[in-house]
Amino acid sequence: MSDYANLLQIIRMRVCESRNLSHAAYPKDSLQDNQIRNRTALIFVLELVLHQHRAQYGSIFNPLQGKEALHHLIFMKTNWLPSEIRKLNFQDALFVVQDELMIENIPEEAQELVKAFYLPSVAITFDDFPEQEWDYKENSPFLQSLNLKTSQ
């Protein structure tokens, strides 16, 4: 299994666990299954967009770990003060970078994985977006292994 696939699965498990939903109890194309797939794919795309942003703008002095990468991306797009950016809640921060969170903005191998993930053809989402669904610390080892492959 690829690092992309592993990352996608760990995100899916976290989305389910944070909502007290079963990992596999919902029939394909059911409301719950579509909501889980949609949220999983969104977080996956977010992680890969931020991973690419870190690679471009991070440094040995400030690698833009976790939320810092999201905040830096918002700063680059808006020129808002960092203190204002840090006040944004998670959903608002994602709203600001919405145009970046597109499947076309991630590596081709990851795009193919998302296509095979059977996303619903229409937006079937949860009404809320608790930040604990995005655990950048848990996702970090998968992203670091992608770094190792590209630097070799």
Per-residue pLDDT tens over the stretch 56-66: 999 999 999 99
Distance CA 146, CA 152 (A): 10
Distance CA 41, CA 119 (A): 8
pLDDT digits (tens, 9 = 90+) for 35-52: 999 999 999 999 999 999
Counted domains in the chain: 1
Closest CA to 18 of 26, 7, 10: 10
pTM of the model: 0.92
Q: CB of 35 within 8 A of CB of 42?
A: no
Give the structural domain span for 90.
3-151
